[in-house]
Amino acid sequence: MEKPWLVEGDFNVILDASEKLWGLPVTHRETVDFAQCINSCALTEIKFTGSNYTWWNGRIENECIFKRLDRILGNIEFMQEFSTSEIQHLTREGSDHCPIQVQCHANQERYNKPFRFLNFWTNHEKFHEVVEENWKIEIQGSPFHIVQQNMKIIKKVLTKWSKETYGNIFHRVATMEDIVKVKEIQFEIHNSDRNRVELMKAEEDLRKFYQVEEEFWKQKSGMKWFIDGDRNTKFFHSYVKGRRRRLQLNEILDEQSVLLKDKKDIGEAAVKVFEQQFKESNFNADYAMIDCIPKLITVEQQQRID
């Protein structure tokens, strides 16, 4: 098969321990066959949003288990043609499996994401400690070089620390919402102190990540005038999506008034414009006026500074 194709459905098996919540520990023996099958077929997983788990065994308390049994995989041709496709794990209703929606997006240019400092990091109790420990690394060179290298180190450290501490906040929120629903059912069936404590803890964890999610969208939307109130995650998200649409360039006119629609042609035209703007032109500069400026340091002092 040399055409793009998808393999999707309930595979009834997971790939690693991160795709299971509660129950018996995951062993290598129960995952190796599926991993080898995916590798042999040259399939690739498509990025998904929503809960990490697509199946719940419908049981409560000690017998409760969540797993990611449902997934969608694509071959090499599909990933080349629809590289920006996305999967969404929808809300589980009336079934032990959640519905999965796939959106096939035609190939678009991928860009390396620049480092972005997230404001909610500063609210974490370990943030200042992480920065302080990695800023103390000894670096040789001028003060400017030291600051530059420290900034590079901190950028890498914070990126790794954020993944380990927060992970994908949108997956975490969706997963925690699933857990809260189960804890609510447990408490309704068995109104015990233990179930009440577990429900309260799950709800508290979910509230923390709701706040992190809202802070993320608030920063991304760049709306400084907003006054804090109820959660406005959907409002911020829609605002960001609207701004993205307004900022998209699908076509431009170049200097010769030729309409360009191809992404590559638009990029080359933009680079050409800025190259011309910042290119140094030959001109005769008269620096005689500099002699009129009084000198506050001697030649020897200037040489020491240099």
Cα gap 218→223, rounded to integer Å = 7
Cα gap 21→183, rounded to integer Å = 14
Residue 113 identity: K
- pLDDT at position 291, please? 79
- pLDDT at position 33, please? 93
- pLDDT at position 298, please? 83
Tell me which residue has tokens 């408490």.
Answer: 187
Tell which CATH architecture fits domain 1-111: 4-Layer Sandwich (3.60)
The CA–CA distances, whole Å, from 191 to 199, 204, 254 equal: 11, 19, 70
Check if the beta carbon of residue 92 is closer than 8 Å to that of residue 56. yes
Residue 34's Cβ-side half-sphere holds a number of Cα atoms within 13 Å equal to 18
| Three-state DSSP string of 275-296 | HHHHCCCCCCCCCHHHHHCCCC
Q: Is 303 exposed, middle or buried (0-12, 13-18, 19+ CB in 10 A)?
A: exposed
Check if the beta carbon of residue 56 is closer than 8 Å to that of residue 95. no
Q: What is the pLDDT along the chain (306 residues), one digit of tens a residue?
A: 788 889 999 999 999 999 998 889 999 999 999 999 998 888 998 888 888 899 998 887 778 899 999 999 999 888 888 888 889 898 887 788 999 999 887 766 555 677 888 888 988 899 999 999 888 888 888 888 888 888 999 999 999 999 888 888 888 888 888 888 888 888 887 888 888 888 899 889 888 888 888 888 778 776 555 555 555 666 556 655 655 555 567 778 887 878 888 878 888 888 888 887 777 666 666 777 777 888 888 888 888 776
Identify the CA nearest to 183 among candidates 86, 90, 64.
64
- pLDDT at position 85, please? 87
Domain with CATH 3.60.10.10 in the chain: 1-111
Identify the CA nearest to 253 among candidates 244, 266, 243, 267.
266
Within 160-271, strands assigned E span 252-253, 259-260
Tokens of 256: 């010769």
Cα gap 179→173, rounded to integer Å = 10
- pLDDT at position 72, please? 93
Check if the beta carbon of residue 85 is closer than 8 Å to that of residue 103. yes
- pLDDT at position 243, please? 56
- pLDDT at position 54, please? 93
